[in-house]
Structure 1
């Protein structure tokens, strides 16, 4: 099917025309105008999604002559995203819910099976319009997530909010982006050297990351109340989907950045203040979500945590050693790791704790984290830790205490961690042998590597005679 669409020049040219109409179509006036605008924007974003899904598009289609991401997709998505404030949308939805008056029903109809009235109240129409806009934003974020699967091209995002690009939407963009300004991207006190110029973050970090952080912040309608249904399920569903899509996009961005930076965020023009800003914003969103995520109807809250922890891991890995953890960070992450039944989420949580433990001055936090990691190792883990989280915990302890000169290494020596690691070797070997080579070949290879690293690390620490 995709190949048929891709090779159909008339179809792809039609999609391009939908996204970039040569002349503005006539628009209705009055109360239908906003609904028409919302539907038109939704159609353009949907056309962008189809074009990206079938790309690269071959000649002779006119769509083959343009850079889809730079010239078509991003100019279409940016005004959709920059014009949306989810907090204001939730407030407008709540007002419509409060003002809703059911359509009067005729009580004494003698005819059975007659069609119901299709009349909708102004409140119902407003809620439908808001849902259309919210779903359009959700789709735009999903498209961006695909674009950010690799490190965003600086040329694509460098002019996204500038005066030279998207001039027709200048006022709308400026108004929408005001919401991102209170997330400070200037980092005025970034340098330890007096007079040194603060490094400038890459363009995509300012134009993409800051607005995304706004989209992850929950509203009063984002999730059903604990123990009660949502006052308007369609709005709640759309809002929570936006938060999750924004987190997925951030997750892709920071995984790509961590891979590209190779432990040196300064090579991307980033400093620790940028990492702290992102970490605090995502943590603040998760705090608002709350930890009551296991009850029926709260699946979206749990999904926020599952994906949000991945973002925290990406950020803390990129800025490893620079983010000072608080007691709340450590306690909540440990509780979450113990509570989640998903091994992959456990791995992400352990990875986040590993990175936070490597802040040199946070000796107490390091002790809390390392004690938890040791509790996951055999033979003392009860119940036994699943294989992937176990390997992540072993690898984390090796990484944390690979440099004996760190201030927190005192915890390794005074806590007799070496003896605990020695006792875990046989259990780790057994866990690695239990990995099916045929079904989970990559995991088996990684397990053997972690097992060998553990033995070598024990020998190294013994040789130090500290």
Structure 2
């Protein structure tokens, strides 16, 4: 069937946000889940947001950040009291401390609340005060970097400029993923010079602030042409990103070492540069930005560099060795030793986190997991090596396509005229796939084919990955996304191998199938109860969908002659049909159909009855009375039929004759012509091409000698 690699799914996943379902209660029950003491604390906090004393306003903003931490109920309660509107007003406060704390509270709300909070902020015009904040920060940063002595009036701004910048940068990042309207508005702010200034001066700016700028750049260069064109137009900027990505050698990931406090730097001093994990995080982000902006303009010297082979893969591959089970177990252990933080005291200095050693180590674990998640996201893009799609029908072809399809229909009296039969006899009919040219093998694919053994350990979920409620919500959130991204990278890798005919060792395919099939089987069983706790573990639907995609890609890379070598269980076809019937995701159902078509090619006589069952399943939409379904599923079944019976020399081809498949295809061809005319846009174009291929396939099968004639020819 048609190949489709997963490069992006809408806007990029926010790797910092913890979904509410990991916290033990969803948004629907949020109001009922607010503890009584928290509800009593909200009113005085909201009142002090507009207090005349700047200290009270600062305290109120800091208290909001504390109240909403991993607590969707309190967040919803504050939303109902217009906390977003009041905090946006505080962005124009006369006191620097209030502005910084207000921006931090908005940042935390946007991260925790996701798209809903981002839309509310955008609708309440948060970008206007943020634009003024950028102008103010740019002036202050220019004076600091230029070593201009501070005037007495600007000393407060200088002390707080870096935490302020981190808050604003994160807000831009979150808002850009809210909607296309918000992204367009952010593009209009001309942020590339402001963001790249942090990368260019990274040796003089706190590392956490540079990382925030890189995170914002990574998101804003993701499938955003105006921003991409601006960033890659400067050779200096591209060079700085490359230097940033190559800063130091990446060591294999491990559990040794404890990260420092993830707080804001004091005054203008940067965090120690010897923090290797934060440097690794920056390198991964730089790799992601570079991949987002390629191909580079040919006039730039950097355009001659193979970014994937020379920069991205050497950075990412060592990170794949992080032992998830050990990491997750350590996180749960540390969480049990921590205690809830009280509300900040009035006039407490911003950024004074006072983390315990356990909290510092827990933050380090979370940071490693988030870095691995970003690395896998970038790697999934590297693995998407399929050539760009070409138009399915040119303008000159499209005008006459409908007429050609009408001509394919036989006269109403039935049958074809003698002239047509004579013409078919004189014209040799080639195999429909015989004319497809071989594609040149991308150089990076050989390196990628060695990665499955490193990706597979990241797929089986530790118990904490899908617990609800979770004892460590940020860790659970990161782990769930890591498993998903590892599956997407594997799927893209195998589809690339299939498209370019790159050989995948049989042992690799067997191991991938075994590990991923276990995930599918676990997902089919539904909710699992953890014997050691009162929590439930449920693999989400998107994980099952991604796993099915890997199985399909694995079969595609194996080819028609290798399905028996994968050691697939006897009930595989039946389970795939169940998934196809129960899944609401069209892409997953289509991949199930494609996987079944490959399984149906098995030539072992003991699979004959199962192959017949698969063939009946594939022909079901085309069996009278034919029933319309989605274009994607119709196309999947068409591809499946052709894939399953594309080798007339296979021992399995007897199923084609015993079920009278040629007659079914001949009869379905005319219904498919009419069905495709109902479709619109690209689906209609693809349908036209597929009907043409279906017709060629029927003509080719009709040109083959009968089974008896083939046996006589073999005996002679």
Q: Give, in angstroms, the shift of residue 453 of structure 1.
A: 4.4
Deviates most, 412-421 or 272-281: 412-421
Distance 1:54 1:411, change over 3 A: closer
Q: Give, in angstroms, the shift of residue 334 of structure 1.
A: 0.7
Distance 1:405 1:49, change over 3 A: closer
**CA distance, structure 1, for counterparts of residue 609 and residue 492 of structure 2:** 31
Indicate yes or no: 2:640 matched with 1:400: no
- Corresponding residue for residue 428 of structure 1: 672
- Corresponding residue for residue 46 of structure 1: 285
Indicate yes or no: 2:334 matched with 1:96: yes
**CA distance, structure 1, for counterparts of residue 301 and residue 380 of structure 2:** 26
Distance 1:323 1:343, change over 3 A: same
**CA distance, structure 2, for counterparts of residue 87 and residue 445 of structure 1:** 49
**CA distance, structure 1, for counterparts of residue 525 and residue 515 of structure 2:** 17
- Corresponding residue for residue 222 of structure 1: 465
Selected match of 2:514 from 263, 280, 285: 280
**CA distance, structure 2, for counterparts of residue 275 and residue 322 of structure 1:** 10
Distance 1:275 1:419, change over 3 A: same
**CA distance, structure 2, for counterparts of residue 395 and residue 43 of structure 1:** 44
CA contact (8 A) 1:149 1:256 kept: yes
CA contact (8 A) 1:353 1:369 kept: yes
Q: Give, in angstroms, the shift of residue 215 of structure 1.
A: 1.7
Q: Give, in angstroms, the shift of residue 18 of structure 1.
A: 2.9
**CA distance, structure 2, for counterparts of residue 100 and residue 285 of structure 1:** 33
Selected match of 1:456 from 663, 685, 699: 699
What TM-score do you get using the length of structure 1 for normalisation? 0.72
Q: Give, in angstroms, the shift of residue 418 of structure 1.
A: 5.4
Indicate yes or no: 2:596 matched with 1:353: yes
Please say which structure displays the higher CA radius of gyration: 2
Indicate yes or no: 2:368 matched with 1:133: yes
**CA distance, structure 2, for counterparts of residue 254 and residue 122 of structure 1:** 43
**CA distance, structure 2, for counterparts of residue 85 and residue 146 of structure 1:** 23
CA contact (8 A) 1:398 1:454 kept: yes
Q: Give, in angstroms, the shift of residue 398 of structure 1.
A: 3.7
Q: Give, in angstroms, the shift of residue 61 of structure 1.
A: 7.2
- Corresponding residue for residue 310 of structure 2: 71
What TM-score do you get using the length of structure 2 for normalisation? 0.49
**CA distance, structure 2, for counterparts of residue 336 and residue 308 of structure 1:** 12
Deviates most, 362-371 or 348-357: 362-371
**CA distance, structure 1, for counterparts of residue 654 and residue 444 of structure 2:** 48
Q: Give, in angstroms, the shift of residue 329 of structure 1.
A: 1.4
**CA distance, structure 2, for counterparts of residue 116 and residue 18 of structure 1:** 27
* Structure 1 residues without counterparts, runs of 5 or longer: 25-29, 158-201, 262-267
Deviates most, 1-10 or 51-60: 51-60
SS of 1:385's equivalent?
coil
Q: Give, in angstroms, the shift of residue 413 of structure 1.
A: 4.5
Q: Give, in angstroms, the shift of residue 358 of structure 1.
A: 0.8
Q: Equivalent residues in 2 for 1:303-342 (5 A)? A: 303-319=542-558, 320-324=560-564, 325-342=568-585
CA contact (8 A) 1:398 1:457 kept: no
- Corresponding residue for residue 2 of structure 1: 228
Q: Equivalent residues in 2 for 1:89-168 (5 A)? A: 89-103=327-341, 118-150=353-385
**CA distance, structure 2, for counterparts of residue 409 and residue 62 of structure 1:** 55
Q: Give, in angstroms, the shift of residue 23 of structure 1.
A: 11
Higher relative contact order (CA 8 A, sep 6+): 2
Deviates most, 146-155 or 233-242: 146-155
* Structure 2 residues without counterparts, runs of 5 or longer: 1-226, 251-256, 263-274, 387-439, 528-535, 710-716
**CA distance, structure 2, for counterparts of residue 112 and residue 271 of structure 1:** 64
Aligned length: 399
Q: Give, in angstroms, the shift of residue 425 of structure 1.
A: 4.6
Deviation by residue 1:221-271 (Cα, 9 ceiling, x = unmatched): 2223xxx4333322122112111211221122111111111xxxxxx4544
Indicate yes or no: 2:254 matched with 1:254: no
Deviates most, 42-51 or 72-81: 72-81
CA RMSD between the two structures: 4.0
Q: Give, in angstroms, the shift of residue 447 of structure 1.
A: 3.7
